[in-house]
Structure 1
Amino acid sequence: MAVNEPPTTTVPTLPAHPDPDTDRIVDSGLLHELSYAFGGPFHFLLPHRFDANLTAFRTALTDAGVEGRVYYAKKANKAAVWMERCATHQAGVDVASLGELREALGHGVRGENIVVTGPAKNDELLRLALLQGCLVAVDALDELDLLIALALTGTARPARLLLRRLPPAQPHSRFGMNDDALATALDRCVRAGDAVRMEGFSFHLSGYATRPRTDLAGELVDLCLKARVLGLQADRISIGGGFAVDYTTAEHWNAFLADQSPDHYHANKSFGSGDFYPYHSPVAGADALRTILNAVPEGGRDTLAARLKDTGTLLMMEPGRALLAGAGSTVFRIQGVKERDGYRIVTVDGTSLSLSEQWFTSEYLPEPRLVTPAGRPTGGETSPTSVGGASCLESDMITWRKVPLPSRPRIGDLLLYPNTAGYQMDSNESPFHDLPLPPKVVLDRLGARPRWRIDRHSAC
């Protein structure tokens, strides 16, 4: 064994699903060129993957015979390219702030294809939404009153709105209205007359289980029927997001959860299995939508799909992570290597603020790929490695886990974190230490010489 070479240590592994597109990018040599050009970490985006995911959701609706609309949850990633894809394909966008609404409109998404969610929306956001004909998910009675007041000031168009239902199974949620508040809200919508267009109901559910979404969607259909009796339009429901993404195989995921322990992490960091995102999901993305549609809501006799068709109710959904599945990755350059007993700590040219799972006091578990100047490493012994950020904080660990890299990491090598487009890239970004924010690179064409450009949001 060479001097300063730590002994080989067996650690759990959690590889991401194989990705031929990423392999082609690695083999092209582009990543080292971009790392040199930017002088820091960067993200690359694959818009064709977004298109494929959108098509898959729409196909699930078509196959079920259900009229529906897909709205991309913009909070999942700030890149402008996703707005461009939504505008091109006439898809919807879900926004929750004035800035997000302006971004969507500015990149060609029509107001009628935008739904405005989020709690306690201020008058400036509601006023712009009203002027542009956006659909507003009303979360509380005071918000409804404000929206009605704005609509009555002479905007020449009614306020389009959904009423958000507090999930009975999650009574402590801060989102939505209970039965009494909903009854009051319906009465106020009726009294507002032509000033409002009450188009239906929505909900926000935590977690990724499909059964609660089917059950609550069935309840919203019943609420729509009751609202129609009052003379309201009420012809659509929104089931929000919460469509899981499958990052790895069941075999790898179950083995990892069974094997992992504090000694597999730098500084004996401790994570319970419940602290992690469910990186394997047997039903994910558009398949989760199919499962929701094909199930029978609690207390019913027909599937949700049949119920929607029979009542003429349109189904809305707001996936974020699921539309971005496989649509981008994050790249850091190694700028320091430190030896420890049984493993290494590498320091990269960015911080954990650019890989946001730490925001949830958790760990992004799909393993980074080591990319040398020659490409994919071959041979050599497994090298357990933790990954630290380039800040002065002990807690700035991008990967606490001792990842089994396929060879010894060296200064100048790259670490590619796979499938990070959904929530990882910019939820927690910060120019700490005056380090620049990682730019986003759009790859419009793959192959031996990929065609790339800076995302228009990054270039602003």
Structure 2
Amino acid sequence: MGLAATNPGADPTSRPSSDRVEDTDVRAPDGVGAVDLPTHCSPPLRAHTDEVEQRLLADPQLLDDIAEAVAGPFHVLFPERVSRNVRAFQAALTDTGVDGFVYFGKKANKAACVVRACAEAGAGVDVASTGELVAALAQGVRGADLMITGPAKSDELLWLAARHRALIAVDAVDELDRVAALGVPARVLLRVLPEGSTSRFGLTRPELEQAVRTIAPNGPITLCGFSFHLSGYDATARAEQAVELVGHCLRARSDGHPADTISIGGGFGVDYLDAVSWARFREALSAKWFHGSAPSGDYYPYHFPTPGAAMLTTVLTHNDLAAVLRENSIRVAVEPGRALLDRAGSSVFRVQGVKTRAAEGNPYDILTVDGTSLSLSEQWFDSEYLPDPVLWPHRPGDTTPTCVGATTCLESDLLSRRRIPLPRRARVGDLLIYPNTAGYQMDSNESPFHELPLPPKVVLRERADRLRWTLDATSR
């Protein structure tokens, strides 16, 4: 694929409906804008951030104190923001009169504080491994509030899930046979392969019919309902697929099964950037903005006008899906990952080196930081994380086109291949704070390459008139 930046179903010029009065944007000093930039530099892409992060960036000492104590790169998490995001999803269900439950997609972040925040807010957790299941239980999530997903689950995972009365999303007929062979009562959903999908996950219609026949009404396996997962961020497609699942539930009920639950999965968009900045980036996107070759893949839709809980509301109100669910006494489960982590964390790297290079005679800087791109990984592969890092501490200076490299011997190991318009020239010892990285960027591809330690997770909480920090349980 060539240079592209996609935003399925979104109007690039609309104002994000998720903007709240307590959320602010990371802003460069006055005078830094698209009109001031040389042609070999990208326009600024300044992220929406939470108020707690703004306080962290404004504190004259706290970031440096943490960096000195950790002695390397680190991730900062704001669990109170996770709680707020959970409550927003719960409110979307309540406001539409729908009986529903929120499960956090744990694969999006391993931090213990995130799971604890979900448990305390009344959410469950979606897990796909024995380790994730045990970690969720350790943070107070009840077994009945666990959703078990993923293909070809291990016998150990299935046994633990059944023992804890978790809801198991069965992905294949032979997996259902293995659940039955456990000899333990189990609660299951059957994962449906949507019509026309080429996904390797889920049950085809003949397999689905076979699975329903296999489960005996009032037997040890309880058919609680059906699930699906769609790629992309199309609210209409989710609503229409949900109606299909309601039909499956009604047919299963006629055979004596309770079938009172559908899961519509995750895939709720996150709004990282304002509409104007994102549209400007997409429309003017140029290979001249990048060090070396430009990324070849599409980008995550970093501006999303109806993100998170607002997207759930859109799903539930499409063709009055909420009324269909209410009239048929169907409970809906949702499994957001990235959306529950929106503005709930950042990644911090220290500058270890500064070089100046030139592109067609135009100078720019290449920074080397004390970490790797594996700790800032965007899951839209062959891409990179686009929101601008914040250069700390704040000092006066001239706008400097800058890309960011990792402390490894790999030419391709760049945190930011795009030349970012930093508000001043970076110095050795400065910190770069990449905002809003809690959703997938921190964890998915981390590796102790070169025997470098993985960046620990720091938990930041508001306490009275100051911010307090501690290491997350996963980093102690």
> Normalising by the residue count of structure 1, what TM-score does the alignment of the two structures yield?
0.92
Residue of structure 2 equivalent to 1:4: none
Work out whether 1:240 is the aligned partner of 2:261.
Answer: no
What is the deviation of 1:36? 1.3
Alpha-carbon distance between aligned partners in 1 of 2:39 and 2:231, rounded to the nearest angstrom: 41
Residue of structure 2 equivalent to 1:160: 187
Instruction: Say how many residue pairs are matched.
Output: 435
Question: Matched residue of 2:219: which SS?
Answer: helix
Q: 2:225 aligns with which of 193, 197, 200?
A: 200
Work out whether 1:293 is the aligned partner of 2:310.
Answer: no
What is the deviation of 1:358? 6.9
Given the superposition, is the C-alpha separation of residues 358 and 118 from structure 1 closer, same or farther in structure 2, using an over 3 Å criterion?
closer
The answer as to whether partners of 1:347 and 1:388 remain within 8 angstroms in 2 is yes
The answer as to whether partners of 1:204 and 1:239 remain within 8 angstroms in 2 is yes
Q: 1:186 aligns with which of 199, 209, 212?
A: 212
Amino acid at match of 1:165: V
| Pairing 1:242-261 to 2, within 5 Å after superposition | 242-261=267-286
Amino acid at match of 1:219: E
| Pairing 1:248-327 to 2, within 5 Å after superposition | 248-271=273-296, 275-296=298-319, 303-327=320-344
Question: Matched residue of 2:215: which SS?
Answer: helix
Percent identical: 54
| Pairing 1:347-386 to 2, within 5 Å after superposition | 347-357=368-378, 360-372=381-393, 376-378=394-396, 380-386=397-403
The answer as to whether partners of 1:139 and 1:176 remain within 8 angstroms in 2 is yes
Which 4+ residue blocks in structure 1 deviate beyond 6 angstroms? Answer: none
Question: Matched residue of 1:457: which SS?
Answer: helix
Work out whether 1:333 is the aligned partner of 2:350.
Answer: yes
Q: 1:434 aligns with which of 451, 454, 460?
A: 451
Given the superposition, is the C-alpha separation of residues 447 and 359 from structure 1 closer, same or farther in structure 2, using an over 3 Å criterion?
farther
Alpha-carbon distance between aligned partners in 2 of 1:35 and 1:417, rounded to the nearest angstrom: 14
Residue of structure 1 equivalent to 2:27: none
Question: Matched residue of 2:230: which SS?
Answer: coil
What is the deviation of 1:271? 3.5
Residue of structure 2 equivalent to 1:143: 175
Greater alpha carbon shift after TM alignment, 444-453 vs 122-131: 444-453
The answer as to whether partners of 1:8 and 1:384 remain within 8 angstroms in 2 is no
Given the superposition, is the C-alpha separation of residues 278 and 188 from structure 1 closer, same or farther in structure 2, using an over 3 Å criterion?
same
Residues 360-400 of structure 1 deviation map (CA, whole Å, 9 limit, x = unaligned) = 2211000000002xxx233x221000000000000110110
Residues 172-196 of structure 1 deviation map (CA, whole Å, 9 limit, x = unaligned) = 10111111000000000127x4211
Question: Matched residue of 1:343: which SS?
Answer: strand
Amino acid at match of 2:152: A
Amino acid at match of 1:243: F
Question: Matched residue of 2:256: which SS?
Answer: coil
What is the deviation of 1:261? 1.2
Given the superposition, is the C-alpha separation of residues 211 and 359 from structure 1 closer, same or farther in structure 2, using an over 3 Å criterion?
closer
Residues 223-264 of structure 1 deviation map (CA, whole Å, 9 limit, x = unaligned) = 100000000010010000000000001111011011121110
Residues 56-109 of structure 1 deviation map (CA, whole Å, 9 limit, x = unaligned) = 000011100000000001000000011211222231100000110111112211
Question: Matched residue of 1:415: which SS?
Answer: strand
Alpha-carbon distance between aligned partners in 2 of 1:143 and 1:180, rounded to the nearest angstrom: 16
Alpha-carbon distance between aligned partners in 2 of 1:10 and 1:427, rounded to the nearest angstrom: 29
Alpha-carbon distance between aligned partners in 2 of 1:246 and 1:16, rounded to the nearest angstrom: 9
Residues 110-158 of structure 1 deviation map (CA, whole Å, 9 limit, x = unaligned) = 10000100000011110111111111000000000000111xx3x3xx2
Question: Matched residue of 1:339: which SS?
Answer: strand
Amino acid at match of 2:473: R
The answer as to whether partners of 1:12 and 1:259 remain within 8 angstroms in 2 is no
| Pairing 1:221-232 to 2, within 5 Å after superposition | 221-232=246-257
Residue of structure 1 equivalent to 2:55: 24
Work out whether 1:87 is the aligned partner of 2:119.
Answer: yes
Work out whether 1:421 is the aligned partner of 2:438.
Answer: yes
Q: 1:37 aligns with which of 62, 65, 69?
A: 69
Question: Matched residue of 2:159: which SS?
Answer: helix
Given the superposition, is the C-alpha separation of residues 447 and 424 from structure 1 closer, same or farther in structure 2, using an over 3 Å criterion?
farther
Residue of structure 1 equivalent to 2:471: 454
Work out whether 1:61 is the aligned partner of 2:93.
Answer: yes
Work out whether 1:218 is the aligned partner of 2:243.
Answer: yes
The answer as to whether partners of 1:359 and 1:428 remain within 8 angstroms in 2 is no
Alpha-carbon distance between aligned partners in 1 of 2:419 and 2:465, rounded to the nearest angstrom: 33
Given the superposition, is the C-alpha separation of residues 185 and 308 from structure 1 closer, same or farther in structure 2, using an over 3 Å criterion?
same
Given the superposition, is the C-alpha separation of residues 439 and 68 from structure 1 closer, same or farther in structure 2, using an over 3 Å criterion?
same
Alpha-carbon distance between aligned partners in 2 of 1:359 and 1:237, rounded to the nearest angstrom: 28
